[in-house]
Structure 1
Amino acid sequence: MNLSMNLHVRQSQSLAMTPQLLQSIRLLQFHHVELLAFLQREAEGNPLLELVAPAEPAVPAPADRVPEPAAGDPSPLSGRQDDGAAFSDGTGLEGERHPDAAERLLDLAYAGPGGSGAEASSWEERLGDGLPSLHAHALREIADVFGSQDERRLAELWLADLDASGFLFADADLPPDLLPLLRRLQDEAEPAGLFARSLEECLAIQLRRRDRLDPVMTSVLANLPLLARRDFAALSRLTGESEAELVDILAEIRALDPRPGSAFSLDAPVAVVPDAVVTQDRAAPGGWQVALNPDAFPRLRIRLESVPAGSANGEERSFLAHCRQSAGWLQRSLEGRARTILKVADEIVKRQGAFLAHGGGHLRPMTLMDVAGAVGMHESTISRVTAGKYLATPRGTVEMKAFFSGAIAASDGGEAHSAESVKLRIRNLVAAESPGGVLSDDDIAARLQGDGVELARRTVAKYREALGIPSSVQRRREFKARRLAG
């Protein structure tokens, strides 16, 4: 075996993750509040930077694709982008249900192009004057209920344990001498249910004020999971009531308020600031125009007048040169971020014009890969751009991620359907049922196939459960119970 030393020259390329590149990636995924906080920190540490933030959020009437900065103001927006449930309020008996971005689109499905109802209200109308403070209201209620200063001070200690629903997260082992104090506060404070320690106790307080908390109601409240599943057979064995009577009890409980604190706010209301605004424009490609919202993009100004003329020593000059280089890089990063957001928003609107014009039933299937291929970016970049970013559309302000939906094949070989539009069809089919025509999952799958949607029965069941729709057996039982009760 011969051992020898040789010298070879090889040329290769690799991506170096420099601190500047890592920071650019972070900037891309920041939403408005995070970006503003980051720029404030940068301006504090760089004497050449001045942050010019909008006084308050507003949705502009876009007259251009990219808002122009004020005269003499360098801005990250300085360039143009020419190239490319059980209760009526939706809360379930087994806990709060927070709708995701996809459900938001279903909620907007019935609003027309100009909007209707709550979705048609203006930005200012939807913000309103803000909700009153929950803690301030609870403090007034304590003062009205208790005349003794000592009792008020004891009750005020519970204010820190109130959550956004008005529930009291107090220790389960509350001292016995404080239980009468809490019971009095629960019985007299408004709205009914405030200071309850659980959902069961909240509903019991409201029923007690209506003189409806009898042993049957108490037994039903102790078995809320059975009521949420509509297991009337098990409840009937526990309470001795008929299914028709249990349906009436369910209707009565549905009329209660499971979140008495929802009419108040723990903190000052925070408005969602859309990153881009979509308006109808017949002259634009596709009939829609996208413009960046200047209120979501704080402006930066480099104050060159802060640089001393010739009096700085070598160390100061080095520091100022670093600050100037950092400020220039930050401006270029913000410009790139703005262009990327606009480019992605343009592509989303181009693909989802039918939804903007006609509603949720016309949402097209779209994946991160589809948009990434169209705009020439990586999927991870599209994911960062759409996370926490919002579009203000004629159908409401919607998170960009909500427009992405899986594809379901068409039975006739035509264009695929989006999963969210299929969910909307399932919801409409169930809503149109009659007592003698309750649809099973197989029936729904057959109806959808007749409309050109190829969907298996098990997928129908999965979508139905995701929408919170009970099974056909449970729906048929409820129809029967209503008929007997009526």
Structure 2
Amino acid sequence: MALSPRLEVRQGQSLTLTPQLMQSIRLLQLSHLELNAFVEAELLRNPLLEREDAEPGESDAVEPAERPVELNAAEDTVDFSERIQSADSIADGYDTAVENVFPEQDSTDRRADAQPWSERGGGDGEPADIDQFVAARLSLGDHLAAQAGLIIADPAERLIAQFLIDSLNEAGYLAVELDTVATQLGAPLELVEAVLGKLQTLDPVGVFARDVRECLALQLREKDRLDPLMQRLLDHLELIAGHDMARLMRYVGVDREDLADMLAASRQP
């Protein structure tokens, strides 16, 4: 049998889902209450957004006093508790609640959303439609918000948690200083730190870390391996990068065998 190269022309179709398209489809699936909750959360999070005034004569027109409180770093006179009360009053005017920022789902619904796209679809073997595909591919922010809603009940802490979730970069690292968060939200720094501590227990392990050292510490703590010797090892990561094992053993206070075991533990996912 002879082998010879040949050229073939094939036609195919593919669908590319951009983040903007995925968000648009997800918004179309929201109910009236869920959409109002989403809009209120965005207004509280982004000071550049404004709600268009309702048409004159409408019975449910929003009074100027009920306009969302904008988050501005220069606002030092607005107390954080007043912001929460303002958010609650806005929610009352739109038949929703601040708690809807983290919509709680039934456990059966969550399992259905987590089902792989390839396993979803009609009972006749029909391919899954586009909204099922989007629901099965939650973003990291959606995944974290769902978890945060289960462990954080206080409305003030939920607002801080959503702000921190929105401040993650693509790798899951926190890309904002905590004092900046406290200033922009008008919240006590201690409260921001407490909320961050809760968020750092979420899945995936290591999310909300501020650098590689803290990410490794969170992962080792989850495996119950973050002892004083391991902490000392993390304090000298530059020696690992430079392959200076002699100095590393001296600083940590272990022999070569123990060091190898510690390095292996730190590299395990």
Give the TM-score band, short-chain normalised: 0.3 to 0.5
Taking CA–CA contacts closer than 8 Å with sequence separation of 6 or more, which of the two structures ends up with the larger relative contact order? 1
| Structure with the greater alpha carbon radius of gyration | 1
Structure number with the higher strand fraction is: 1
